[in-house]
């Protein structure tokens, strides 16, 4: 059985191309800044591009930022950021010095498609994008875990770069989706993306798949009449969440969770996963009713 699942994982991995994530993360950005004075521009620029960054990185960031009075600026912009209190274009986002992360939140809510390159280029966007990625994919895996047992919960709501029909088992799906998450987290963290570049993390995900697969089966087997569905989904959520949080630390400071930290994070995520699963089932029951 383990050999069959491993073969399914290998086949599913063939549908996952890290180059697509790399292209999305490395897409050029053009951001127009609007301020009343030089100090106003400098404050916005230093929030997006702190002096602590390397000179090479700051030059890369500078190529994406264009002051409104820059005669050489492009005419096409992905975003416009405006000093609060000025008369700004209708689609511009205001920068509030007393609460600069309000702007970050508003931009990500309006431009989810720009989250990955914004996180790669600019540190203030990194943590929100990383957290959103981990939570989204952990929830996707919980949803799929339920969908395999309850077919009328359609996994089509999950936005994936492959067809669900191409995945041979829930274990293969959850594993490949975790690998996809690793690519996205590396991209958001300005780290190298790919099977070779992330071989240690990918190998760890594949090796760990059989552990939480066995845990989920044990939970379902102990609870009769389908009552183990919530624990099964919670295991899928928690396993994915811990993989993501450990990778977040690895890409941030160079090392992941210790064994004890992983155990603690898993226990906390398992409870959160149960809440997510109950929420999905309640929504399904309302739609059926």
Residue 227 above 70 pLDDT?
no
- Contact predicate 117/25, CB 8 Å: yes
Domain extent for 262? 2-24+126-288
| Residue 92: strand, helix, or coil | coil
Summarised one tens digit per residue, pLDDT across range 198-222 is: 999 999 898 876 665 555 555 554 4
| Beta-bridge partner residues of 95 | 83
Question: pLDDT band at residue 2, thresholds of 50, 70 and 90?
Answer: low
Q: What is the mean pLDDT of the segment spanning 58-84?
A: 86
Q: Clarify whether residues 274 and 188 are in a common domain.
A: yes
> Among 124, 143, 161, where does a domain finish?
124
* pTM across the whole model: 0.88
Whose CA is closest to 142, among 109, 177, 118, 112? 177
Q: Clarify whether residues 266 and 247 are in a common domain.
A: yes
Q: Degrees (nearest 5) of the Cα angle 202, 150, 10? A: 25
Residue 7 above 80 pLDDT?
no
pLDDT score for 80: 96
Q: Clarify whether residues 97 and 209 are in a common domain.
A: no
Question: pLDDT band at residue 160, thresholds of 50, 70 and 90?
Answer: low
Q: What is the mean pLDDT of the segment spanning 48-68?
A: 87
Q: Clarify whether residues 148 and 211 are in a common domain.
A: yes
pLDDT score for 13: 77
> Among 84, 100, 124, where does a domain finish?
124
Q: Clarify whether residues 112 and 182 are in a common domain.
A: no
- Cα–Cα distance, 84 to 93 (Å, whole number): 9
Q: Clarify whether residues 153 and 250 are in a common domain.
A: yes
Q: What is the mean pLDDT of the segment spanning 229-235?
A: 85
Q: Clarify whether residues 178 and 277 are in a common domain.
A: yes
User: Which is it for strands 93-95 and 65-67: parallel, antiparallel or unpaired?
Assistant: unpaired
Total domains present in the chain: 2
Under DSSP, the state recorded for 164 is: G
Q: Clarify whether residues 182 and 240 are in a common domain.
A: yes
Q: Is the C-alpha dihedral spanning 102, 105, 109, 114 positive or negative?
A: positive
Question: pLDDT band at residue 94, thresholds of 50, 70 and 90?
Answer: very high
pLDDT score for 215: 55
> Among 124, 155, 171, where does a domain finish?
124
* Residue 24: CB atoms within 10 Å: 18
Q: Clarify whether residues 118 and 195 are in a common domain.
A: no
Which segments of 66-99 does DSSP mark as H helices, in order? none
Q: Which residues contact 122 (CB under 8 A, 6 or more apart)?
A: 48, 49, 61
Which segments of 33-169 does DSSP mark as H helices, in order? 38-48, 55-64, 100-110, 115-121, 126-147
- Contact predicate 188/130, CB 8 Å: yes
Q: What is the mean pLDDT of the segment spanning 45-60?
A: 86
Q: Degrees (nearest 5) of the Cα angle 27, 32, 38? A: 130
- Cα–Cα distance, 241 to 247 (Å, whole number): 10
Q: Clarify whether residues 177 and 248 are in a common domain.
A: yes
Whose CA is closest to 27, among 72, 60, 69, 58? 60
Angle between helices 170-188 and 2-13 (to 10 degrees): 40
Summarised one tens digit per residue, pLDDT across range 96-119 is: 999 999 999 999 999 999 999 999
Angle between helices 259-288 and 229-253 (to 10 degrees): 130
Q: What is the mean pLDDT of the segment spanning 44-68?
A: 88
Q: What is the mean pLDDT of the segment spanning 109-131?
A: 96
Q: Which residues contact 152 (CB under 8 A, 6 or more apart)?
A: 284, 288
pLDDT score for 4: 65
Q: Clarify whether residues 168 and 279 are in a common domain.
A: yes
Residue 256 above 70 pLDDT?
yes
Q: What is the mean pLDDT of the segment spanning 181-187?
A: 97
Question: pLDDT band at residue 231, thresholds of 50, 70 and 90?
Answer: confident
Q: Clarify whether residues 19 and 31 are in a common domain.
A: no
Q: 221 exposed, middle or buried (CB, 10 Å; 0-12, 13-18, 19+)? A: exposed
């Amino acid at each position: 059985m383990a050999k069959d699942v491993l073969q399914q994982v290998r086949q599913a991995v063939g549908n996952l191309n890290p180059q697509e994530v790399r292209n999305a993360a490395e897409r050029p950005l053009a951001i127009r800044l609007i301020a009343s004075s030089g100090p106003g521009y400098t404050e916005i620029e230093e929030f997006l591009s702190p002096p602590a960054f390397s000179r090479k990185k700051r030059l890369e960031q500078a190529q994406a930022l264009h002051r409104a009075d820059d005669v050489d600026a492009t005419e096409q912009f992905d975003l416009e950021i405006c000093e609060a209190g000025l008369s700004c274009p209708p689609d511009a986002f205001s920068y509030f010095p007393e609460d600069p992360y309000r702007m970050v939140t508003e931009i990500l809510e309006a431009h989810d498609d720009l989250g990955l390159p914004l996180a790669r280029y600019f540190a203030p966007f990194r943590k929100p994008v990383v957290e959103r990625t981990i939570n989204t994919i952990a929830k996707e895996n919980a949803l799929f875990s339920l969908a395999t047992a309850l077919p009328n919960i359609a996994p089509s709501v999950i936005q994936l770069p492959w067809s669900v029909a191409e995945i041979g088992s829930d274990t293969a799906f959850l594993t490949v989706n975790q690998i996809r998450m690793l690519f996205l987290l590396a991209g958001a963290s300005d780290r190298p993306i790919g099977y070779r570049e992330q071989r240690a993390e990918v190998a760890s995900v594949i090796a760990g798949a059989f552990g939480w697969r066995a845990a989920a089966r044990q939970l379902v087997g102990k609870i009769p009449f389908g009552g183990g569905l919530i624990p099964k989904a919670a295991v899928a959520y928690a396993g994915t969440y811990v993989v993501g949080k450990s990778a977040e630390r690895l890409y941030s400071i160079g090392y992941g969770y210790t064994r004890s930290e992983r155990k603690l994070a898993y226990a906390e995520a398992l409870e959160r996963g149960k809440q997510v699963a109950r929420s999905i089932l309640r929504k399904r029951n309302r739609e059926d009713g």
